[in-house]
A and B are shown apart, each in its own frame.
Chain A
Amino acid sequence: MSTSPRALVVGALLLLVPILGLTQTWSHEGGKLTLNKPPERIVALNWAATESLLLLGITPVGVADMAGYGTWVREPELPEEVANVGTRVAPSLEAIAELKPDLIVTSTEMAPAAELLERIAPTYVISVYKQGARPYDKAREMLLTLGEMTDRKDRAELVLADIEKTLEEQRERLEQAGVTGKPVALVNFLDDRHVRIYTPNGLFQTALDNLGLTNAWQDTGNYWGFSVTGLESIAEVPDSRIIAIEPLVPGLADSLANSPFWTYLPPVQNHEIYQVPAAWPFGGVYPVKRLAVALADALIDGGSDNVR
C-alpha cells in the first residue's frame, strides 16, 4: 500500500490539531494558567482539591496531610502510595518540588507561598472557602475546571449529574416520608458544652437547600461556614431538630443524659436528635452527596432522645 505525500501532510496536520488545541489558558484566583498538555502529576494542597481529583479518577502524586484525609474525609478513598507533602497550613515546598509535579492545586490560604509554588509547577488557585464565596458553587467550578485541564470534562459532568440526581432522589424520599417540615441544626459536638454549628453560608447548606430542609441556625458564621458556640445557643431555636454529625467525643451520650439542660431541650423531649456518620464539612462537592443520603436515612429512620 502506498500513500501519497499529500496524504502524509494532511495526516501530519491532523496529528498537530490536538496538540495545538490543547494549549489552553485558564484564569484563576492567582492569575492566569497555561497548560500545553493535560497534567499527569498533580499535587493537591488541601482536602477539597484532593477529593476533586479523586472524583475525576486521578490519583494525585502528592497531597497535604495524608493521614488526616483518611481519618476525616475518608471518601473518595485515597490510595496508600500517594506521597505526603506535609501539613495543610505549612507543606514542605521541597517535598513538593521533589515530586516534580506538572500542576499544583491550592487555595488563597497559601497566597503567601504563591510565588514559590509557581516556581515548582503551574499553580491553580481556587478557594472553595473564602469570604463571600458559596462553597458548593466554588467546588463545582473547581471540579469542572480540573476536568477541563485534565481532559476529563465528561467525567466531571457525570459526577455532578450523579450528585444532583442523588439530591433529587433523597428529596423525594423525604417528601414521601413527610419529614421536611421542621428546621434542622447541623452540629459537631466539641465537648459536652460546646458545639460547632454549621451556618447558612457553608457547604452543608447546599444539601439542606436541595433536600427542602431549613437551617435552624440563621446567623452567618466564619467563611468556613460554621460558628463555635455554647450548647445553650441551640436552645434559642426551640422548634428544631438536632443533627449530630459524627465523630462524637467518647462518653458524650452519658454526660448529656446527666444534664437536665439537655434533657429539657425541646428537640430532646420530642425525640428529635438524629445522628449521622461523618461528612467532611470543608470539602468539595462530594460531602454534599454523602451528607444528603445520611441525612435522609436518619430523618426517615426517626430520632431519639440522645446521641449514641
Chain B
Amino acid sequence: MSVDATLPAPGQPETSPRLPIAVALLWLAAITASALPWLDQLLPSQLVSAFWSFDGDQYASVLAHFSWAPRVSMAVLIGCALGLAGAVTQQVLGNPLASPTTLGVEAGGQFGVTLATLFAPGLLAFSPDLAAVAGGLLAIGLVVLLTWRLGFSPVSVILAGLVVTFFLGAINMAFLLLKGEWLGNLFIWGAGSLIQNNWTPFFDLLPRVVVIAALLLALLRPLQLLQLGQASANSLGAKVSLLRAAALFLVVIMSSVVVSRVGVVAFVGLAAPVLARLLGARTLTERLLWSTLAGGGLLLLADTLAHWATTWDGGSLVPTGTTTALIGGPIILLALQGFRNTHHMPGQEASPAAFLPRRRSPVAVAGVLCSLLAVTITLSMGWSPGLEGWNWTPLVQWTEAWVWRGPRLMAAILAGMALGMAGTLIQRMTGNPMGSPELLGISGGAGLVMVVLVLTGLDIGRPGQLAAATAGAAGALGLLLLLARKHHFAGNQLLLGGLALYVFMDAGLRLVMASGGTVASRLLNWMYGSTWLIPESEAFALLALVVGLGTLLLLTLRPLTLLPLGDTPASSLGLPVARARLLLLVLAAVLTAASTVVIGPLSFVGLIAPHLARVLGQQTVGRQLMVAALAGGLLLSLADYLARILVYPNQLPAGLLAALVGGLYFLWGLSRHGRG
C-alpha cells in the first residue's frame, strides 16, 4: 500500500539513538532522586519490595508501602497517561502546541469539581469523575465550537484554549475568593498534589487509564493516516471528523479522571510530547511511545522535586503542580528553537486588507463611547447599594461619595485606557492583531514579578511595585521582541513565549494557593485587580502618568505607522529604527505595568480594546489608539462598578469581572471572525 511506503518501518536506523538514552536517563534520575531519602532507613531491596509488601513491625516499611510506593506509581501512571493524551491531541489537531492543558481541559475539569464541591457534594461522593469530565467536555466543546469555522487552525485553537482556561479559571477564582475558608481542600487540590496514603486511588485510576489508553491505541492506525495530511485523509471520507472527535473525547476523559483525583498537574501533557519531538521522535508510533514514557519520567521527577522542596520548606507542602510548571516552562522555551514557523496567527493571513469593517467617523465613535462612559460614571457615582438598600446619591453629596467611589473608578478608567493604548501599540509593533499584553505574556511578566514580591513578603510600596512591575513587563516584552524578531512577530514563537511566562507565574500562584487560604486570597485579590485600595493621591498620579504617556504616544504616531513596513523601508524613510523601537518598547512596558498594578495581569482589556476600535472602523494608528483607550476605559469602569455592587458589601476584584466580560467578547469575536 502506498501509505506504508511513506512510513519508515520500525527499527529503521533513522530512529535517533538519543531518544531511548535520554528517556532512560530521565527515568534513572527520577527514580534515584525519589528513592534517595529512603535509603538511610530501608535497604534497597526492601524499598523495591515496598511496591508489593510491607513489614508491619517496621513503620518505615509501612510508610514506604502505603505512602511512597503508591505516590511513585501514581506519578508514573499519571505522567504516562498525560504524555499519551498530549501526543494524541497533537496528532489529532495537527498542532505541536496542543495538549490537555493548552486546550483548557484541565481548567474545565477543575471548574467542574469546584462547582460540584460547592453545589452538589453528593455527586462527588458518587463519582468524582463525572463533574470533572463534564467540565473538561465543556471546555473543549467551547474550543472546538469557536474554532470550527477556522478549520482548527493550530494557533487559533491554542488561543481559544488559552482564553477558555483563563475564563473558567476566573470563575473558579471568584468562588475561591468568596468561599475561601470553606474550600481549604480545593486550594490544595487545585494546586495539584500527588500525596498518597494508600493504594486505592492508584488501583482506582489504573483500569481507567489502561482502558482509555487501549482505546486510544486502537485509533492508532486511522490516526496514522491523519499524519499524511488533511487532504489525503479527507479522501477517506467523513470518518475523519468522527475519528478526531472520538480521539479528543478520549483525551478529555483521560485528563479529567486524572484531574478529579490529583488536581491540575499542568503542562506534563504538553512538555512530554514536545520533549519526545525535540529528542527526535519522528513517526507517530515513536511519538506516542516516547511521549508516554517521557511523561511518566517527567512527572516522577517533578513530583520528587516537589517532595524534596516540601522537606526543605520545613514540611510545608510544595504542590506538584508548582514543579511541573517550573519544568514545563523551560521545555516550552526550548521548543521555541525546535519549531518551524509554519503557522500563522489568526488574523495574520486576514491582513488589514482582508479585515476592513466600514470606516466610521472617529468623532462619532468617540462621541458614543464618551457618552457611554459618562453614563457609567454617573451610575457609578450615584446609584449604589448601601447597608439600608439601594439608593440614589444626590449630586450635592457627590463630594462625599467621591472619596469611596471616585478614586477607584478613576483608576479603573485610566488602567483601561493604558491597556487599550498598550494593546494598540503592541499590535502595531508586532503587526499582529492578536498581539496583546495579556496573550503575549507582557502582563504575565509584570504579574510574575508581583507574585515573587508576595512570595518573598517584600513590602516596597506602590511606587516600588510599579517600578518592579515595569521591569517585569519590559523584560518580558524585550525577550519576546528578541525571540520573535527573526520570525517577524508571527506565529508560534510569540504565543509560546507568552505561554511560558504564564507557566512560571502559575507555578508561584500554585505554591501560594497550597500554603493556605488567607495568603492566597490576598494574592488572588491582587491578581484580579484590587481597585478599591487606590487612594486619591495614587489615582491622580496615575492620571498624570497616563496623560503624559498618551501625549508621548501621539508624538510617536509616525514611527508606529512606519515600523510595521519593515526595518529597511522604515529607515529609508528617515526613521532611526533602533531608537524608535526602544522608545515604543519602553512606552508599552510602562503602560502595561501601570495598568497591571491596578487591575492585575488577566483582564483581556489590552486584547479587546484595540480589536473593538478596529471593529468600530478605526484603521489609522492615531484613531485606533484614541478609540481603543476610550473603549478600554469604558470596559474597566463598568467592571469596577459591577465589582463593587454585585455582591455588596463583599466585593469582587474588578479585573476578574473584566476577564469574564473580556473572555466572552473574545470568544464571540473569534468565532465571528472565523465566519467572515
Complex contact A90–B316 (CB within 8 A): no
CA gap between A27 and B530 in the complex, in Å: 29
CA gap between A91 and B525 in the complex, in Å: 12
Complex contact B197–A227 (CB within 8 A): no
- Give 1 or 0 for each of A10-51: 1 = CB within 8 Å of chain B CB: 000000000000000000000000000000000000000000
Residues of B within 8 A of A203 (CB): none
Complex contact A266–B59 (CB within 8 A): yes
Residues of B within 8 A of A258 (CB): 198, 200
Tell me the A169-216 residues at the B interface (CB within 8 Å).
188, 190-194, 196-197
Complex contact B650–A90 (CB within 8 A): yes
Tell me the B465-518 residues at the A interface (CB within 8 Å).
514-516, 518
CA gap between A224 and B516 in the complex, in Å: 9
What distance in Å separates the Cβ of A116 from its nearest Cβ neighbour in chain B?
A: 6
Complex contact B63–A261 (CB within 8 A): yes
Complex contact A193–B193 (CB within 8 A): yes
What distance in Å separates the Cβ of A237 from its nearest Cβ neighbour in chain B?
A: 11
Residues of A within 8 A of B518 (CB): 88-89, 109, 224, 282
Task: Select B66's contact among A217, A226, A260, beta carbons within 8 Å.
Answer: A260
Complex contact B195–A251 (CB within 8 A): no
Assuming the A-B contacts A193-B193, A232-B195, are A227 and B532 also in contact, with contact meaning beta carbons closer than 8 angstroms in the complex? no
Residues of A within 8 A of B464 (CB): none
Among the stretches B178-186, B203-211, B333-341, B411-419, the one at the interface with A is B178-186
Task: Select A222's contact among B189, B515, B644, beta carbons within 8 Å.
Answer: B515
Task: Select A221's contact among B184, B314, B403, B522, beta carbons within 8 Å.
Answer: B314
CA gap between A261 and B199 in the complex, in Å: 10
Complex contact A87–B651 (CB within 8 A): yes
Task: Select B387's contact among A90, A99, A112, A229, beta carbons within 8 Å.
Answer: A99
Assuming the A-B contacts A84-B649, A260-B62, are A228 and B316 also in contact, with contact meaning beta carbons closer than 8 angstroms in the complex? yes
Judge whether B367 is part of the interface by a CB distance below 8 angstroms: no
Assuming the A-B contacts A97-B404, A228-B317, are A87 and B533 also in contact, with contact meaning beta carbons closer than 8 angstroms in the complex? no
Complex contact A89–B181 (CB within 8 A): no
Tell me the B625-668 residues at the A interface (CB within 8 Å).
644, 648-651, 653
CA gap between A304 and B627 in the complex, in Å: 70
Closest residue of chain B to A230, judged by CB?
B195
Judge whether A98 is part of the interface by a CB distance below 8 angstroms: yes
Complex contact A264–B59 (CB within 8 A): yes
Task: Select A68's contact among B181, B514, B653, beta carbons within 8 Å.
Answer: B181
Judge whether A92 is part of the interface by a CB distance below 8 angstroms: yes
Judge whether B315 is part of the interface by a CB distance below 8 angstroms: yes
CA gap between A144 and B188 in the complex, in Å: 37
Complex contact A261–B522 (CB within 8 A): no
Task: Select A89's contact among B67, B195, B200, B522, beta carbons within 8 Å.
Answer: B522
Judge whether B384 is part of the interface by a CB distance below 8 angstroms: yes
What distance in Å separates the Cβ of B530 from its nearest Cβ neighbour in chain A?
A: 7
Judge whether A4 is part of the interface by a CB distance below 8 angstroms: no
Task: Select B384's contact among A86, A94, A116, A235, beta carbons within 8 Å.
Answer: A94
Residues of A within 8 A of B67 (CB): 230, 232, 235, 261
Closest residue of chain B to A110, judged by CB?
B533
Judge whether A158 is part of the interface by a CB distance below 8 angstroms: no
Residues of B within 8 A of A6 (CB): none
Assuming the A-B contacts A219-B315, A227-B314, are A95 and B403 also in contact, with contact meaning beta carbons closer than 8 angstroms in the complex? no
Residues of A within 8 A of B405 (CB): 94
Judge whether B99 is part of the interface by a CB distance below 8 angstroms: no
Complex contact A95–B386 (CB within 8 A): yes
Residue of A191, A221, A228 most packed against chain B (CB within 10 A): A228
What distance in Å separates the Cβ of B338 from its nearest Cβ neighbour in chain A?
A: 37
Tell me the A65-85 residues at the B interface (CB within 8 Å).
68, 71-72, 83-85
Complex contact A222–B519 (CB within 8 A): yes
Judge whether A231 is part of the interface by a CB distance below 8 angstroms: yes
Residues of B within 8 A of A191 (CB): 185, 188-189
CA gap between A113 and B193 in the complex, in Å: 35
CA gap between A191 and B121 in the complex, in Å: 14
CA gap between A115 and B536 in the complex, in Å: 10
Residues of B within 8 A of A86 (CB): 648-651
Complex contact B316–A221 (CB within 8 A): yes
CA gap between A68 and B518 in the complex, in Å: 13
Interface size class of A (residues with CB under 8 A): 35 or more
Closest residue of chain A to B196, judged by CB?
A193
CA gap between A265 and B63 in the complex, in Å: 9
Closest residue of chain A to B459, judged by CB?
A111
Complex contact A87–B650 (CB within 8 A): yes
Assuming the A-B contacts A191-B189, A196-B184, A261-B198, are A220 and B314 also in contact, with contact meaning beta carbons closer than 8 angstroms in the complex? yes
- Give 1 or 0 for each of A146-164: 1 = CB within 8 Å of chain B CB: 0000000000000000000
- Give 1 or 0 for each of B100-115: 1 = CB within 8 Å of chain A CB: 0000000000000000
Judge whether B125 is part of the interface by a CB distance below 8 angstroms: yes
CA gap between A86 and B385 in the complex, in Å: 13
Residues of A within 8 A of B314 (CB): 219-221, 227
Judge whether A270 is part of the interface by a CB distance below 8 angstroms: no
CA gap between A217 and B314 in the complex, in Å: 10
Residues of B within 8 A of A229 (CB): 310, 315-317
Closest residue of chain B to A249, judged by CB?
B185
What distance in Å separates the Cβ of A265 from its nearest Cβ neighbour in chain B?
A: 8
What distance in Å separates the Cβ of B648 from its nearest Cβ neighbour in chain A?
A: 6
What distance in Å separates the Cβ of A67 from its nearest Cβ neighbour in chain B?
A: 10
Judge whether B521 is part of the interface by a CB distance below 8 angstroms: yes
Residues of B within 8 A of A99 (CB): 387
CA gap between A230 and B315 in the complex, in Å: 8
Complex contact B185–A194 (CB within 8 A): yes
Residues of A within 8 A of B650 (CB): 86-87, 90, 92
Judge whether A124 is part of the interface by a CB distance below 8 angstroms: no
CA gap between A230 and B515 in the complex, in Å: 12
Complex contact B59–A251 (CB within 8 A): no
Complex contact A231–B197 (CB within 8 A): yes
Residues of B within 8 A of A131 (CB): 457
What distance in Å separates the Cβ of B137 from its nearest Cβ neighbour in chain A?
A: 25
Task: Select B197's contact among A84, A97, A251, A262, beta carbons within 8 Å.
Answer: A262
Complex contact B516–A196 (CB within 8 A): yes
- Give 1 or 0 for each of A228-252: 1 = CB within 8 Å of chain B CB: 1111110100100000000001110
What distance in Å separates the Cβ of A206 from its nearest Cβ neighbour in chain B?
A: 20
Residues of B within 8 A of A230 (CB): 67, 193, 195, 197, 310, 317
Complex contact A235–B63 (CB within 8 A): yes
Complex contact A261–B188 (CB within 8 A): no
CA gap between A113 and B404 in the complex, in Å: 12
Assuming the A-B contacts A93-B404, A222-B515, A227-B317, are A259 and B66 also in contact, with contact meaning beta carbons closer than 8 angstroms in the complex? yes
CA gap between A94 and B121 in the complex, in Å: 36
Judge whether B56 is part of the interface by a CB distance below 8 angstroms: yes
Assuming the A-B contacts A92-B651, A229-B316, are A235 and B514 also in contact, with contact meaning beta carbons closer than 8 angstroms in the complex? no
Residues of B within 8 A of A228 (CB): 188, 316-317, 514-516
Task: Select A119's contact among B185, B200, B387, B403, beta carbons within 8 Å.
Answer: B403
What distance in Å separates the Cβ of B184 from its nearest Cβ neighbour in chain A?
A: 5
Complex contact A190–B63 (CB within 8 A): no
Closest residue of chain A to B388, judged by CB?
A98
Complex contact A87–B62 (CB within 8 A): no
Complex contact A92–B648 (CB within 8 A): yes
CA gap between A193 and B518 in the complex, in Å: 21
Residues of chain B having any CB pair with chain A under 8 Å? 56, 59, 62-63, 65-67, 121, 125, 177-178, 181, 184-185, 188-189, 193, 195-198, 200, 310, 314-317, 384, 386-387, 403-405, 457, 459, 514-516, 518-519, 521-522, 525, 530, 532-533, 535, 537, 644, 648-651, 653
Cross-chain pairs A/B with CB under 8 angstroms, 18 sampled: A71-B181, A86-B651, A89-B518, A89-B522, A94-B644, A113-B532, A113-B533, A188-B184, A193-B197, A226-B516, A227-B317, A228-B516, A231-B197, A238-B59, A260-B66, A261-B197, A261-B198, A264-B66
- Closest 7 pairs between A and B when the two form their complex, measured CB to CB: A261-B66, A230-B195, A219-B314, A94-B404, A86-B649, A92-B649, A261-B197
Given contacts A191-B189, A264-B62, 9 further A-B contacts (CB under 8 A): A72-B181, A83-B387, A87-B177, A90-B525, A93-B404, A109-B518, A229-B310, A230-B310, A264-B59
